[in-house]
Copies of this chain bind each other. A is one copy, B any other.
Amino acid sequence: MNYPNGKQRVSMKQISQTFSNRGMTLEEDINMTNQYYLDMDLAVIHKKPTPVQIVNVNYPKRSAAVITEAYFKQASTTDYNGLYRNRHIDFEAKETKNKTSFPLANIHDHQIKHMESIVSHGGICFMIIRFALHNETYYLSADKLFLHWYEKQRDGRKSIPYNLIKQEGHEIPFNYQKRVDYLSIIDQLYF
């Protein structure tokens, strides 16, 4: 829902997803991995900033400007993108505490549309899914995700079973410096 002034209403549920399900740990691990890729000059991949609608800013003398009123906006794309071996990389990352399935409510329709555009224009597009309680992190390519998404639309299915992700996805190796070494999977699949 959009307010007339361009603010977007974000529900309590979305906020709590932002700060819990979405998993700071996975995000931190991916950020560290991306920093390692950057430091080693392997790839240039960044997390996009959280989109915020700024409404009011104070400019105190001799100190930093303070944003005193702002609202969360829903992201219209995925969280991460960049460049690796001449290819455009684009992905979303989600963590779940569910043991048996990954809830599709974590993904929005406009994100799927965005991922479809990326695939059709020649980008490498995927999802990183962490099952926190199994301590396992998977790479699921966008085309596999789309199939589950359309099943959801058709049959009302609300999640992807853990076993299917294990089967269709690729487990991402953990390494002290490359905590979510997804480029190793891309190397296998594309190069």
Contacts and interface: CB of A to CB of B under 8 A. Distances in A.
Interface of A: 7-12, 15, 38, 41, 43-44, 46, 48-52, 54, 57, 59, 63-73, 76-77, 81-88, 90, 114, 117-118, 120-123
Nearest to A44: B117
Given A52-B52, A77-B46, A121-B83, A72 B65 contact: yes
A29 to B, nearest CB: 18
Number of copies: 2
A121 B85 contact: yes
Given A10-B64, A46-B77, A65-B72, 10 more contacts: A44-B114, A44-B117, A44-B121, A49-B51, A52-B54, A66-B70, A67-B69, A67-B70, A85-B121, A88-B88
A86 B38 contact: no
A10 B86 CA distance: 34
Q: Which of A8, A49, A73 neighbours the largest number of chain B CB atoms within 10 Å of its CB? A: A49
Contacts of A43: 121
A189 B63 CA distance: 45
Q: Which of A69, A114, A118 neighbours the largest number of chain B CB atoms within 10 Å of its CB? A: A69
B48 A122 contact: no
Given A48-B48, A77-B46, A69 B66 contact: yes
Contacts of A121: 43-44, 83-86
Contacts of A117: 38, 41, 44, 83
Contacts of A41: 117, 120
